[in-house]
Structure 1
Amino acid sequence: MEEFTTVCLLLLIPSSVSCFQLSSSTIQTLNKGEYLSVENPQDVLLSPSGVFSAGFQSVGVNAYCFAVWFTRNPTLVWTANRDQPVNGKRSKLSLLKSGNLLLTDADELDVWASDTSSATSVELLLYDSGNLVLRETKGVVLWQSFDFPADTLLPHQQLTRFTKLVSSRSETNHSSGFYSVFFDNDNVLRLLYDGPEISSIYWPDPGRVSWQNGRSTYNGSRIAVLDSLGNFSSSDQFSFITSDYGAVLQRMLKIDSDGNVRVYSQESEGHEWYVSWQAILTPCSIHGICGANSLCSYDPGGSGRKCSCLPGFRRRNSSDWSLGCEPKHNFSCNPSASYFVRLPHVDFYGSDRQFTSNSTLEDCMNLNLQSCDYKAFQYKFSEDRGYFNCFPKTFLINGYVSPDFQAGVYLRLPRGKPFSMQESLQESSAECSNKTITIERGYVKAHENRNLKLMAWFAYNIGGFEILCILCVWCFLMRDRRRSQANECAQSYLPIGSGLKKYSYTELKKATKGFCQEIGRGSGGIVYRGELSDNRVVAIKKLSEASQGEEEFYAEVSNIGMLNHMNLIKMWGYCSEGKHRLLVYEFMENGSLAKNLESKSHALDFRTSFHIALGVARGLAYLHEECLEWILHCDVKPQNILLDSDYQPKVADFGLSKLLKRDDSDNSKFSRIRGTRGYMAPEWVFNMPITSKVDVYSYGIVVLEIMTGKNPMKGGDQDMNGSGREGRQHGLVGWVREKKSKASSKASWLQQIMHPMICGHLETKKMEILMEVALQCVEEDRDARPTMRQVVEMLQGSCN
C-alpha cells in the first residue's frame, strides 16, 4: 500500500526527485538520486574486476534495453525490459530517493521498476558474478537480478520454483520467445513449448514417465544450479558435467531461441564462446521449431536442421519458420474430392483424435475421409500385437523426418491439384523471427517558451488533486492486475505433452452463446454444448471453483491429454484464465449412460448394453495396464460414461483419477476418499489399501445397474435397503445374489432381475457370462475380483 502511494506521489511531483548526471566511465555504484542515461555511452556500471557491465544496450532501431552483459565479448545475460524497449533519447534508469529503481521511457512512462523502498541509504552495484544488486549500505539486499532471470543462468545463480528461463524470439530479437525451462508442479525440471495456439512439454521425453527419464518427483525444494567448474545439479536428480569440467572458466547456461538448452564456455575473456553441453541431441524433437504443416529434418554431418512445407502447403512467412505453412488450395469435405499421399519416415507428435487397433489400410482411409477434421493418418505396425493400428491426425504439428522411424504418414490432399513432391520439400534453414524492433513512439522535445511553460505548470497544479486520485486508483488496479497475471502465468504451465489447444475464456463463452445450453451437471461443474469457430461441435465443461481445485484440474488435463483410446473421452483443449477453468471435449451425441438408463423407454437393448459393458471394460483395462503410468479412475459410474452417435461408450471425467508409478511400493496411500456413494469399493470405507480393484468393483456395479435398471444409490425394492458392510449384502449386489440362489434355473433368475426391455431381446449365454463377470467384480475381497484385462477376455470369449 505504502509503496504504491509513494510511486503515485513521485509521478505527481517529479520536481521533488533531484537527479544528476554521472559522467565517469568507470561507475561501480549508483546511489540515491543518481541515474544512468540512454544517451550517454559512458553511463555503464562495471563489476569490480570489469568482467560484467550494466547499462543500456541497443536491441533494434531506436530500441534499447537496460541489460547486464559480459564486457570483453559483449553477450547479454540479463535484461530488465526485454518485451518493452525504451526510446534512444531521454530514457533513463533512476535510483529514486524512495529506494525504488525506476526505468522510464522518453515520454516519462514507467517501463520497469524494482518495486522497492528504503528509508536508509541504498546503492546499486554489479557483482563479479554478474548479479545486479540493489542493497542498503548495511548490506541488506532489497532486489537482485539473479531472482529474475531472462534466458540465461550464470554460475551459482539458482533456478527455483519461483523462476524460469524464457528464450528469446530469435538471435536478433531479444523479446520473450516460445520456449522456457522451469520446475513443473511435479518437481521435475522441464522444457516447454508455449506457442500462440498450443503448448506441450518436449523434454524430458514426454512419452516416458519420470522415473524412466531418470527424474525424481519426491524432492519439493525445486532448485537447480550450475557451478563455476561446469557441474550442474537439480533437485529432481538430474545432473551433468560439461565437456570441459574441472577448469574455472566463464560459463553460462542458456535456453536458446531454437528451444535447446546449452552451456557456453570461453577459455578467457574476449575469446569465442563454444558449446560445452546441450540438453537435446536431436533438434527435430523440439516442438514447434518448424511450425504447423511442415517437416523438420536433420543432417548431423551436413547442413544441420532444415524445415520444409508439406506437399500442398506454402510458407506463411518467408522469414519466420515458427509460423509454419498454409494450404495452397481449399480442401473439400467431400470424401471423393480427397486422396492420400504417403510420406515415408514421417511422424507428427500429438494431435491424435482417436486410435483404432487391428485396422486395414482401406478401413483407416475410409475412417479419415469421414471428417474434415482429419488431415492425415499414421498407419503403423505393432510388433507386440502383430497387427496394424490407425492413428488419425487432426493437426499437423511437430512434424519430423527420421530414417529410424519405420512407419509413415498418409497426407490428405485435394484431387485435381497436382503436387510435386520435389517442389514441396524445398528445404530452408530453420530460423525464428529476425525482425528488429522499432520504437514508433516519439519523444517530447524541449521548448524554450517560458510563458508556455508557466501555463503548463499552472494547469498541472490546478489538476493535481484530480490526477492524484486517478493515479492512486490506477495503482490499486495495476496491483490487482499484476496479481491476476501472476496467477494466470502460474496456471499456464501445465504438464501437458499432447499438443492440447489453449482457448481463451472469451472464445469459449462465444462458442456456448454465453453458456446457455446445458447438457450435463455434476459436483465438479456444468457441461455446455458449444460450437467452435471451425464449426466443430464440442462439450465444454465449466469447472466450479469450490468443487475442484488446482490438483484436480491438473489431474484431469494431464491425464486425459496423454490418453489415446477409442473408449476414453478425447479432450481437444482447455482454458485456464484467472479464476476460469474449462475443458473442451469431443461432443457425445447420445449423452451419458445415466441419462439413457433413466429414460422411460430404456432404449438400450441387450446387444447395445453388452457392447457398452465391453467398451467400458476395454477403456479401464487400457488405463490400468497399457498406460506408461498406472491410472486409477476412482469414480466409475454411469454419469461418467458417455455414448456417441453409435452408442460407443467413452469413459470420461478424470477429475478424481490417481496417477501412480508402476514400481511404487506404496501405491495404497491416497490423500482422501474418492468416488461416489453406491459405486465405491469396500476398501474406501474400511481404510484398506487401494489398488486398481476399486475400479473393477465400480465397473461391476455399473453393469448390474445396466442389466437390472436399478440405481444402487436409490434402491428400488424394500429388500435393497441398508448401509455399511451389512447394507452391501442387502443392496443391489445382495438382491441379485439372492435372486440367483433361490432361482430354480439359470434362465429364471435372469428373467427375474433383468429390465423388461432387455428381457425381450435376451441372449441367454452372453447374459449369463456378463452377469457372472459382474458378480465377480463386486466381490468383497478384492483379491477375488478379476482384473479389467481378464474381464475383457471373458466378455470377448462369450462372443466366439
Structure 2
Amino acid sequence: MNLIFLTLLLLFQATLSSSTTSNTLNQGSSLSVENADTDVLVSPNGDFSAGFFPVGENAFSFAIWFTKSSVPTVVWMANRDQPVNGRRSKLSLTEDGDLVLLDVGRVRFWSTETTPSSHVKLQLYDSGNLVLRSAAFGEDVVYWESFESPTDTLLPNQNLTMNTRLVASVSRTNYSSGYYHFYFDDDNTLRLRFQGPDRVVASVYWPAPWLGPFQTGRFRYNISKSATINSIGDFASSDNLIFSALDHGAKINRRLTLDPDGNLRLYSFDEKTKSWTVTWQAISSPCNVHGICGPNSMCSYDHVLGRSCSCVPGYKVKDSSNWAFGCEPRFEWRHNQESSFHRIANAEFYGYDKNFYENLSLKECEEKCLFFSDCKGIQYHMSNVANPGSRCYTKHLLVNGAHTSSFPGDVHVRLPKDKISYFEKLHTKLKSEQYCSSKLVLLDRTYNKAKENGGLKVLLWVAIALAGVEITCVSVVLSFLYCSRKESKLNSHGYTLAALTRFQKFTYAELRKATAGFCNTIGAGGGGTVYKGVLADGRVAAIKRLTESNGGEAEFLAEVSTIGRLNHMNLIEIWGYCAEGRHRLLVYEYMEHGSLADNLKNIELDWEKRFDIAMGTSKGLAYLHEECLEWVLHCDVKPENILLDSNYNAKVADFGLSKLLNRGECHDPSFSRIRGTRGYMAPEWVYNLPITSKVDVYSYGMVVIKLVTGREMADQHGRLVTWVKEKMYGDGDRESRIEEILDPMLELGEFDKEKIKLLVKVALQCVEEDKDARPSMKQIVEMLEYHNNQH
C-alpha cells in the first residue's frame, strides 16, 4: 500500500510538471479533483503549487506544496483531517466571494467564510502564500490568506501568532493532525507540547519543563505574541527565542516544520540534490520528546540503530504501527494482591508524580507506593554531592519513559508478586519483538472509486455468474461429503480439511514470520489476540492467536472444518489455520477499516453507510442462523465484532468457535455459562432461560440502537431503550422527536428519515424482553430489503 501511494505521488508530480497552469482562480471558477493534474495554481516563480493532493486511495486534500523537491513537500493543507472523495469534489470561488471546498460536489468540508463584494480572486504568491484578495475601486484588500492558518510548517516571512500554532502530522504518509504542538503558551512563551491520542495525557517538553522562562533566556512580559523566520535563516520571536540556520546568510528556500516525531526542525533546500537538509533542530536527544513511545514503555536511542521503543516488563504493545498508544498491562490487579518491583536501571518516567519524598531508603520509597492501590511504580535516585540524600517519586502514570546510560536514577515498576518472575523472563524473550520499528501508516480513509467501464463490467458479471455455477456444484458435493460425516476422520496433518474447505495449513513459524514476531497487535478479546501480518504470497491477513487450551488437535480441526463451510459475503473469510503443539491460530482476511466500534466517531460513517452496515450485519447473522449446514449462534454480537472493509461493507467476525449445533437443537446444557458482552446480552442469559437464535437478535437490536444514537450502553442499557421508545412513539409526534436520538456526530440534514425510523423500529422489536416477540434475522433482512426496494 505504501508503494502504491508513493508511486501515486511521483506520477502526480510528473503530470503536474507537464501541465500548463496559472497562479489565479477567478470569481465563479472552480478547481476539480477529477482534473487534479491540470486544475492547479502555480506560483509565478514555479516554486509552489496549490491544488488537490492525494493523501490516500481515492482521498484528497486541498494543499500547497513545494514543487522542486524530488518528492512534493506539502507546506499547508485546508482539510487535513477530512479528505474529500476523488469524484466530483471541487474548490470553488463563489460569486459571493467565499472560497469553499465541497465533497462530492455538495457537502461543505471547509470554507474561508468570506463575503467580499466583487472583483475577488485567489492567487498563489512566490512566497507560497495563497491569498484571497480584491482590487476593486483602486484598493487592494486581502480577505483571507493561508499564511494566517499554518498546519505543520512555517515559511519565510510567515508569522506565528497568539491565534495560530503548528500541529505535526501523525506520520510522514498520514497528514492528519498528530500529537505535537508548537504554540505561544499563556505566559507568552513559545513551547512544544505533547497531547496524547487519548486526549488525557498532555505535557510540555521544550524548553525543558523544569526550567523557568528566564533560565532559558525567554521573556514572559511582552504585549505581543509573534514569531517569524526570514529567507536568510534567522528566527526571532517576541519571547526572545532566537536561532539561525547552519547555512545562515544564503537566500535559499527554507521551511520550519514540526515533524511527526515531535521535533521542531529548520530545513534548507539543496538545488543540486533536490532535497531538504536539517540546518537546526530544537531537540538533540530524540527520547526527550514526550509521548514518543506512549505510556508504560521506554524510549532508547542508539547512534547506529536510531530511536526504539519497548514495553516495560508485565506490559504488551497496543499498536506497534503507532507507539503513541504505548503499552497495556498483561495482568489485572486482584483485591489484596501482593506486589513487588522490577528495577530498570538508568531510566526515568517524567511527570505525573503522585508524591515526592526526600531522604528515604529504597524500601521506604517502595512502601510509600504500596500504600496506594493506584501507584504504578517509583522513580528513585541519589542527589548530587552538593545536595546529598535520596529522592523518591511515586508514580500515578508511567509516561514519558526514557532509558539513558548517563541518567543517575532508576525506575522500579510495580507488578504482581506471583507473576514478576514470569514477566521478567517473558520480557527477555520478547525484547526483540518489542523493538519492532514503527511502520508507515497511510491515512485510514478510502472512498468509492469511479464506476468501471460498461463493457468490462458485463464481462465481469458473466465471469462471476460462471464462477457462481461452479461454486454451487462444489457446494453440493461438499454438502454430501459433510452429511456422510467423512470429515470426522481428519488425519493429524489436516490434509482432508484442506481438500474440503480450501483452507491452508500454516506452520507456527510461518505465521510468526508473517506477523514479524507477533508484533503488530490490531485487536484482543477473551478468545485471543489478533495481529496484522503479510503472508508469503503477499496477502495482508488478520491472524488470531487463540488462548491456549487443553483441547486436542483433532477436536480443533473438527470445529474448524465446519467453520470452513460458512461462506457468505457478510461473514469474515477464514483463509487457514495452524494447529501445532499447543498453538492454535486462525488466519482471516484483513479488514482495512477495522471494527464498527472503531468507526462510530468517524464522520465518514454517514447515515447511508450506517443503514448498509445494519443491512449487511443482518444478512450475515441470518445466514448463520438459517442457511448454513449447522445452526450457528454467535453469542457475542457487538460493534467490536462487526468489521468494515475498504468500502465500509460490514462483515460479522468472531463467529468461528462461538457455538455450533445441529439444526433444530434449541437448547444445550453446555450453554449454562453466561456468554456475551454487558449491554448487548439478552435477558435469557441472566435468567437461565433456554438459549435460541433470539439471543443474537437481541444483541443485534442493541448494536443498531448504538449505530443510530452513538450512545454508550454498557451501563443501564434498559434506560437507553426506554428513552429511544419515548422519542420514537411518545406524544405521537414522530417526525420531530426522532431527530433527538440521532448521533450528534453527524449533520441532521444528510439522511433519509424513513430509513432511520425503520432502523429504530426494527431495533426496538429486537430488544423485546420476550424472545417470542422478537423477529428472526431472516424477517429483519426482509423488512430492511423491502424498504430499499420501495425506494
**Percentage of identical aligned residues:** 46
Distance 1:270 1:149 in 2: 27
**SS of aligned partner of 2:287:** helix
Distance 2:273 2:48 in 1: 12
Deviation, 1:363, is 1.8
1:617-766 superposed matches below 5 A: none
Q: What per-residue deviation string (whole Å, max 9, x for no partner) do you get for residues 17-75 of structure 1?
A: xxxxxx97312211011100000110000101111000000001111000000112210
For the Cα contact (< 8 Å) 1:168–1:176, is it kept in 2? yes
Deviation, 1:180, is 0.7
* Cα pair distance change 1:322/1:262, threshold 3 Å: same
For the Cα contact (< 8 Å) 1:157–1:225, is it kept in 2? yes
Distance 2:190 2:166 in 1: 11
For the Cα contact (< 8 Å) 1:313–1:424, is it kept in 2? no
Aligned to 2:304: 302
Aligned to 1:61: 57
Letter in structure 2 aligned against 1:161? M
Aligned to 1:379: 380
**SS of aligned partner of 1:354:** strand
**SS of aligned partner of 1:363:** helix
Distance 1:110 1:349 in 2: 43
* Cα pair distance change 1:386/1:28, threshold 3 Å: closer
Letter in structure 1 aligned against 2:443? T
Distance 2:354 2:370 in 1: 13
**SS of aligned partner of 1:211:** helix
* Cα pair distance change 1:129/1:182, threshold 3 Å: same
Aligned to 2:347: 346
Q: Does 1:204 align with 2:211?
A: no
Distance 2:418 2:105 in 1: 58
Q: What per-residue deviation string (whole Å, max 9, x for no partner) do you get for residues 139-183 of structure 1?
A: 211110000000000001011111100000111110101101011
Letter in structure 2 aligned against 1:36? L
Deviation, 1:209, is 0.6
Distance 2:305 2:451 in 1: 49
Deviation, 1:441, is 6.8
Aligned to 1:322: 324
Distance 1:190 1:59 in 2: 29
Q: Which is further off, 416-425 or 114-123?
A: 416-425
Q: Which of 18, 25, 29 is residue 20 of structure 2 equivalent to?
A: 25
Aligned to 1:562: none
Distance 1:209 1:290 in 2: 26
Deviation, 1:329, is 2.0
Q: Which of 127, 130, 135 is residue 129 of structure 1 equivalent to?
A: 127
Q: What per-residue deviation string (whole Å, max 9, x for no partner) do you get for residues 544-580 of structure 1?
A: xxxxxxxxxxxxxxxxxxxxxxxxxxxxxxxxxxxxx
Distance 2:431 2:226 in 1: 44
Aligned to 2:113: 115
Q: Which ranges in structure 1 are unaligned for 5 or more consecutive residues?
A: 1-22, 448-800
* Cα pair distance change 1:429/1:76, threshold 3 Å: farther
Letter in structure 2 aligned against 1:399? G
For the Cα contact (< 8 Å) 1:251–1:263, is it kept in 2? yes
Letter in structure 1 aligned against 2:444? I
For the Cα contact (< 8 Å) 1:107–1:444, is it kept in 2? no
Q: Does 1:365 align with 2:366?
A: yes
For the Cα contact (< 8 Å) 2:59–2:447, is it kept in 1? no
Q: What per-residue deviation string (whole Å, max 9, x for no partner) do you get for residues 86-108 of structure 1?
A: 00010000010000011100051
For the Cα contact (< 8 Å) 2:27–2:94, is it kept in 1? yes
Distance 2:275 2:214 in 1: 38
For the Cα contact (< 8 Å) 1:72–1:269, is it kept in 2? no
Q: What per-residue deviation string (whole Å, max 9, x for no partner) do you get for residues 378-420 of structure 1?
A: 2221234432232111110000001111110111112332122
For the Cα contact (< 8 Å) 1:166–1:180, is it kept in 2? yes
1:247-266 superposed matches below 5 A: 247-266=250-269
For the Cα contact (< 8 Å) 2:194–2:203, is it kept in 1? yes
Q: Which ranges in structure 2 are unaligned for 5 or more consecutive residues?
A: 1-17, 455-791
Deviation, 1:302, is 1.1
Q: Does 1:231 align with 2:234?
A: yes
Letter in structure 2 aligned against 1:35? S
Aligned to 1:439: 446
Aligned to 2:225: 222
**SS of aligned partner of 2:354:** coil
Q: Does 1:190 align with 2:191?
A: yes
Q: Does 1:163 align with 2:164?
A: yes
For the Cα contact (< 8 Å) 1:312–1:424, is it kept in 2? no
Aligned to 1:49: 45
Distance 2:19 2:285 in 1: 49
Distance 1:188 1:444 in 2: 53
Distance 1:232 1:395 in 2: 36
Q: Which has the larger radius of gyration?
A: 1
Aligned to 1:408: 410
**SS of aligned partner of 2:365:** helix
So what's the TM-score if we normalise by structure 1? 0.51
Aligned to 1:397: 399
Distance 1:356 1:259 in 2: 32
**SS of aligned partner of 2:358:** coil
For the Cα contact (< 8 Å) 1:333–1:371, is it kept in 2? no
Distance 1:128 1:444 in 2: 39
Aligned to 2:612: none
Q: What per-residue deviation string (whole Å, max 9, x for no partner) do you get for residues 410-465 of structure 1?
A: 111123321224235435366487133323478999x9xxxxxxxxxxxxxxxxxx
So what's the TM-score if we normalise by structure 2? 0.52
Distance 2:272 2:94 in 1: 34
Letter in structure 1 aligned against 2:126? D
* Cα pair distance change 1:134/1:432, threshold 3 Å: farther
For the Cα contact (< 8 Å) 1:169–1:432, is it kept in 2? no
Aligned to 1:90: 88
Aligned to 2:787: none
* Cα pair distance change 1:397/1:281, threshold 3 Å: same
Q: Which of 74, 77, 81 is residue 75 of structure 2 equivalent to?
A: 77
Aligned to 1:39: 34
Deviation, 1:375, is 0.9
Q: Which of 380, 388, 391 is residue 390 of structure 2 equivalent to?
A: 388
**SS of aligned partner of 1:39:** helix
Distance 1:144 1:379 in 2: 52
For the Cα contact (< 8 Å) 2:292–2:324, is it kept in 1? yes
Q: Does 1:423 align with 2:423?
A: no
Deviation, 1:308, is 0.6
Distance 1:177 1:56 in 2: 21
Letter in structure 2 aligned against 1:32? Q
Distance 1:348 1:424 in 2: 22
For the Cα contact (< 8 Å) 1:311–1:425, is it kept in 2? no
1:566-585 superposed matches below 5 A: none
For the Cα contact (< 8 Å) 2:320–2:437, is it kept in 1? no
Deviation, 1:114, is 0.8
Q: Does 1:282 align with 2:289?
A: no
For the Cα contact (< 8 Å) 1:29–1:45, is it kept in 2? yes
* Cα pair distance change 1:270/1:72, threshold 3 Å: farther
**SS of aligned partner of 2:355:** coil
For the Cα contact (< 8 Å) 2:189–2:220, is it kept in 1? yes
Distance 1:59 1:416 in 2: 49
* Cα pair distance change 1:320/1:428, threshold 3 Å: same
**SS of aligned partner of 2:133:** strand
Letter in structure 2 aligned against 1:438? R
For the Cα contact (< 8 Å) 1:106–1:444, is it kept in 2? no
Letter in structure 2 aligned against 1:143? W
For the Cα contact (< 8 Å) 1:78–1:150, is it kept in 2? yes
Distance 1:70 1:390 in 2: 51
For the Cα contact (< 8 Å) 1:169–1:433, is it kept in 2? no
Distance 1:107 1:428 in 2: 46
* Cα pair distance change 1:424/1:338, threshold 3 Å: farther
Deviation, 1:343, is 0.7
Distance 2:221 2:244 in 1: 23
**SS of aligned partner of 1:308:** strand
Letter in structure 2 aligned against 1:334? N
Aligned to 1:181: 182
For the Cα contact (< 8 Å) 2:341–2:415, is it kept in 1? yes
Letter in structure 1 aligned against 2:166? L
* Higher RCO structure (Cα 8 Å, ≥6 apart): 1
